Chain A
Amino acid sequence: MIEVDRETEPYLASFAALEEQRRGEPRWVRWLRESAMERFMGLGFPTSRLEDWKFTSVSPITRMSFQLAPHRANGLSVSELEQLSFLNLGRPCLTFIDGHYSPKLSTPGVAEAGVRMGSLADALQEGSSVAQEHLGRHALYTDQAFAALNTAFLHDGAFLEVPKGVVMRAPIHLLFLFTAGGTPLVSHPRSLLLVGRESQVDIVESYVALGEGVYFTNAITELVLGENAIVNHYRLQRESPLSFHVATLQAEQGRASTLISHNISMGGALVRNEINSVLSGEGAECTLHGLYLATGLQHVDNHTVIDHARPHCSSREVYKGILDGQASAVFNGKIIVRKDAQKTDAKQTNKNLLLSDDATVNTKPQLEIYADDVKCTHGATIGQLNEEAVFYLRSRGISREEARKLLTYAFANEIVSRIQVAPIRSGLEELVPRQLGKYES
C-alpha cells in the first residue's frame, strides 16, 4: 500500500497544483477530472498481477518522476514542422506541443461546410454540448488506471466534429510533438473525434519527438462513428527512443459504419497501445491493421478489443511485428461476441518475425463468444526469416544481407501496402526500411 502511494502521490500533488490554473473550466469537466483522479488513486498503477498487464511492467514509468508539461512558447515555423513530420500531408493540420494546442503551427481551415475542427480546450471553454455528451463516455476509466490518469489531467487535444453527410477530401492530420530533453515531462493529450452519419474522413494521428530524451505520453482518443460513417484512422508513433508511450483509441461504431484503423508503432522505450472498438450498431465493420517494429531494449505492447455488440457485424484484424536485438513485444487481441451478436464474422491474425535470438514475443488471442451463430477465427505465428527464400534471392545474385533486408521489409509491406492515403503510404515506404536498416541482424 505504501509503495502504491509513493507511485501515485506525485500525480495527486500535481493534480492539486492545477487548482488555480483550471479555475475557468466548466463544472462538469472539473467533476469528471476529480472523479477520475479519485479512481486513479484507488486503482494505482497496474501490476503484472493483472491479466492485462501480465507481460508489460510499467515500473520504468512509476520509478520516474515527471513534471506535468507546461504550455511553452516555441520558435518552430510551419516549414520547419513540415520537415520534421515525414508526412507531406499539408492542410488541414492541428499541431500540439507537449499536449498543448499550437495555433501558430496549425492550419484548421477546411472547405467543407459545417465541419468543426480545433482544440478540445477551446471547444470545452465554449461550452460545446456534443463534447459534454461524449467526452469520457467511451474511454471508461473505471478499471483502467492510465485512462483515469489521462481523464484526471485532461485539458487539450484535438476536437473534430463532422456533421451529417460530409465527405472530407483531404486527410486531417493531428500532429503531437514532444519536446524531449531536460526535466522529464508528462502530457495527457485527449482527443474527441465525432464523425456524423454518412460522412467520410481520413484521420492521421502522429506522435513525433523533437529530441532524444525521456518523457511520458499518456494519450486517449475517443472516436464516434455515426450510421454509415466511414473512417480511416492512422496512428503513427515515432516517439523518442527513451520515451514512454501509453495510448488508447476507443471507438464506438454506429449501424453499418466502417472503421479501418492502421496502427504503426516504431519509437519509444516502453509502448502500450490500446485500440478498441465497440460495434454497437447492426452491420458495422471494423478492420484493425497494425505494424510494430522494435529493436534494442524496446518493449511494445498492443492490446486490442473488438466488441461485437450487435448482429451482422464483421471484423478483420492483422497485426505484424518485427523484432530485433533484445526487444520484446506483446500482442493481445480480444474479440467479444455478445449474446445478441448473431451472424458475427470475425477474423484475427498476428504474425511476428524475430530477427535475433534474444527478441521475444508473447501473443495471445482471446475469444469471448456468447452467441451461437457466429464465424470467428484467429491465428498467431512467430518465426524467423524463411531460409529457402533467402537462398532463392541469393541464387539470383542478391547478397545475403540484401536478401534479409528485402524479406524483412516485405513482411512489413503487407501492412504498409494496405494504406490508402498515398502520402502516408509513400512516407512509410521510406521510413520503414530506414528504421529496419538500423537493425543489427
Chain B
Amino acid sequence: MLEIKNLRASVDNNEILKGIDLSIRAGEVHAIMGPNGSGKSTLAQVLAGREAFAVTAGAVTYQGRDLLAMPPEERAREGIFLAFQYPVEIPGVSNLYFVRTALNTIRKQQGLEELDAMDFLALAKEKMKLLGIDETLMGRPVNEGFSGGEKKRNEILQMLVLEPKLAILDETDSGLDIDAVRIVADGVNALRSAERAILVVTHYQRLLNYIIPDHVHVLYNGRLVKSGDKNLALELEEKGYSWLEQGAAA
C-alpha cells in the first residue's frame, strides 16, 4: 500500500529525515517509536503533505501512485488520514460543519452521494457514542476550547467518520489518561481490517498494549535504526531510548 524509499526531508535547510525506507501492506499495523526530535512527527506530516517540510530526496508510492506529487487534499481523498499531534483550533467553524464538509468532499470523490445534515448527524452520533464524546462537541467551533483529551478524541472521531485506507496517528496517546487511551485504541481497532493499514507514531509503548502492532520500528536521528515485532516496543519501554544515544556515540 505504502512504499517509502530513501526519504529525506528538511525544514529551513535543516535535515530532519535522513533516508527512511519503509514498506506497509494493507491489513498491517506499524508502530514507529523514537525519542523527541527523532523525526516522528515530521515523517507523519510529510506523508500527509505538509508543505512546510521540503522533501529533498527519495520516493513515496501509495497504491501505485507517486504520493509526493499529490497535494494534501488529494491524499485525503485517496484515503490517507493524519490524526494530528496538535489538532488546530478553528474559531468560527462548527465541528459538525467541518467534519460533514470533509466527509462529503471525500464521498464525492468516490462517486458516492453526499450525506445531508440529518444522515450525517446520525452517523456522527453513533461514532461519538463509541468514543464517549459529549454530543455538544459537534456544535462547538473545531477544537476551540477543547481539552487535550477532547481534541485527540475529536481526531479519532474524524477518522472513524472518514474511514481512511491509511491512518497515521501522530502521538495520539500523549496527554491522555489510561481510560481515554483505551477508548481511543478501541476506536482505532474498530477500523482495523484487511483493506486498511495503520501507522502509529508514538513516544510511549503504552498505546501499543491496546493497539497491537505487526511491526515496530525505531526512529532515531532521522533514520529507522531498528525494526522488529511488538516485543521491540516492550524492550524500548524497559530500556528507554538512552541506549540509542550510546550506540550512536560509540
Contact = CB atoms under 8 A, between A and B. Distances in A.
Contacts of A394: 49, 71-73, 76
B105 A398 contact: yes
Interface string A376-404: 00000000001111011111111110110
A410 interface: yes
Given A391-B51, A392-B84, A398 B90 contact: no
23 contacts: A388-B88, A389-B90, A391-B49, A391-B51, A391-B52, A391-B72, A391-B88, A392-B84, A392-B90, A393-B102, A394-B49, A395-B84, A396-B99, A396-B102, A396-B162, A398-B101, A399-B73, A399-B105, A407-B90, A409-B92, A410-B90, A413-B92, A417-B92
B93 A406 contact: yes
B48 interface: yes
Interface of B: 48-52, 71-73, 75-77, 81-82, 84, 87-93, 98-99, 101-102, 105-106, 109, 141, 158, 162
Given A392-B87, A395-B76, A396-B99, 10 more contacts: A389-B88, A393-B90, A393-B102, A395-B75, A396-B98, A397-B73, A397-B102, A397-B106, A398-B105, A411-B92
A204 to B, nearest CB: 23
Contacts of B105: 396-399, 402
Interface of A: 386-389, 391-400, 402-403, 406-407, 409-414, 417
Contacts of B101: 398, 402, 406
Contacts of A400: 71, 73
B71 A407 contact: no
Most buried by B among A392, A399, A412: A392
A395 B48 contact: yes
A228 B105 CA distance: 50
Contacts of B91: 410, 414
A420 to B, nearest CB: 18
B90 A397 contact: no
A397 B77 contact: yes
A394 B98 CA distance: 11
Contact of A398 (B48, B73, B141): B73
A409 B91 CA distance: 10
A424 to B, nearest CB: 18
Contacts of B52: 387, 391
B72 A395 contact: yes
A399 B102 CA distance: 10
A398 B90 CA distance: 14
A386 B89 CA distance: 10
Nearest to A413: B92
Contacts of A389: 88-90
Contacts of B158: 396
B166 to A, nearest CB: 13
B90 A395 contact: no
A244 to B, nearest CB: 31
B92 A414 contact: yes
Contacts of A398: 73, 101-102, 105
For the complex of A and B, the 6 pairs showing the least CB-CB separation, nearest first, are: A410-B92, A396-B102, A397-B76, A392-B88, A394-B72, A413-B92
Contacts of A386: 88
B82 to A, nearest CB: 5
A400 to B, nearest CB: 7
A396 B76 contact: yes
A410 B88 CA distance: 14
Contacts of A388: 88
A398 B92 CA distance: 17
Most buried by B among A393, A396, A409, A411: A396
A175 to B, nearest CB: 29
B93 A407 contact: yes
A43 to B, nearest CB: 42
A411 B92 CA distance: 6
A436 to B, nearest CB: 13
A417 B112 CA distance: 32
